[in-house]
Amino acid sequence: MSGNQIWVVKVGGAVLNTEQAALELFKVLAHVSEQEGKQFVIVHGGGALVDSWLQDAGFATAKHQGLRISPKEQMPYIVGALAGCANKQLMGQAIVAGLKPVGTCLFEAGLMTKQKLKALGQVGTCYAEENLGLLEQLLKLGRIPLVSSVGIGENGALYNVNADEAAAAIAQTINGELIFMTDVEAVLDAQKQPLHTLDASQISTLIDEKVIVGGMEVKVKTSLHAAQHLRRGVYISSWQKPENLVALIKGEHVGTQILP
């Protein structure tokens, strides 16, 4: 555990679908921030909300290796759900918890975005751009940045970025500790038992054996990539237990630590 004061916390879209979940999480952050002097950047997705908006609009949705294929004509709905509705719902809960949130997208967080793969449409991959980010200035003002995983390209195009990848890129940019708050307590082995630590070779074996699949595969690979870049462990833990966050910040071991 480094003495770094900034923690990048990625929350999944599921937090938005669970009454009170975001509020409970933000109350914990407000408490830790006050007691321990820690600072937080929240990065969020909103997959379930995007699904329901696209369904209401009559679009079929498809995924490829855990990433949502995002055709251009679906982007107004995807951006509206993520950067609009999900971001502002989270801001509302943060305000109730006593925090001072600022809603942003990846550009303000210091990241530019480009197309990941033609086949995925407007799915983006983000990269740091020197002197672009405002996160540290916002934190100095006592604000808590809430970053949606919507990216913007040099050509002005809008992109849907995987929120796990976005959180990892932000942690690298500001050299922060990284925690993925997910639907499960930890990464599970073939017997459905929680794994305390995972390294590259264990991850590759579990993916080959189809123990880690889908969204968790993306999350674990992203965590490993981030751990290697940050040169320290990255944590995967459950948002259903916000107290886990306090334990992690105090250096206790909960959830799964992905080792570089």
Q: Report the 3 state secondary structure along 224-260.
A: HHHHHHHCCCEEEEECCCCHHHHHHHCCCCCCEEECC
Residue 13: predicted pLDDT: 62
pLDDT one digit per residue (tens) for the chain, 260 residues: 444 579 999 998 678 778 788 999 999 999 988 888 889 999 999 988 999 999 999 999 888 877 889 999 999 999 999 999 999 999 999 999 999 999 999 999 999 999 999 999 999 999 998 888 999 999 999 999 999 999 999 999 999 999 989 999 999 999 999 999 887 788 999 999 989 999 999 999 999 999 998 878 888 998 898 899 888 889 998 878 778 888 888 888 788 999 98
Residue 209: predicted pLDDT: 94
d(CA 38, CA 2): 12
Give 121's strand partners.
70
pTM value is 0.91
Residues with catalytic annotation? 10, 13, 47, 164, 219
Residue 1: predicted pLDDT: 40
Please list, in sequence order, all residues whose beta carbon lies within 8 angstroms of the beta carbon of residue 86, skipping any fewer than 6 positions away. 13, 16, 44, 45, 46, 49, 148
Domain residue ranges in the chain: 6-258
**CATH for 6-258, among 3.40.50.920, 3.40.1160.10, 3.30.70.20, 3.40.50.1360?**
3.40.1160.10
Closest CA to 152 of 161, 144, 143: 161
> Residue 193 is encoded by which pair of tokens?
């038992």
Residue 254: predicted pLDDT: 85
Residue 200: predicted pLDDT: 94
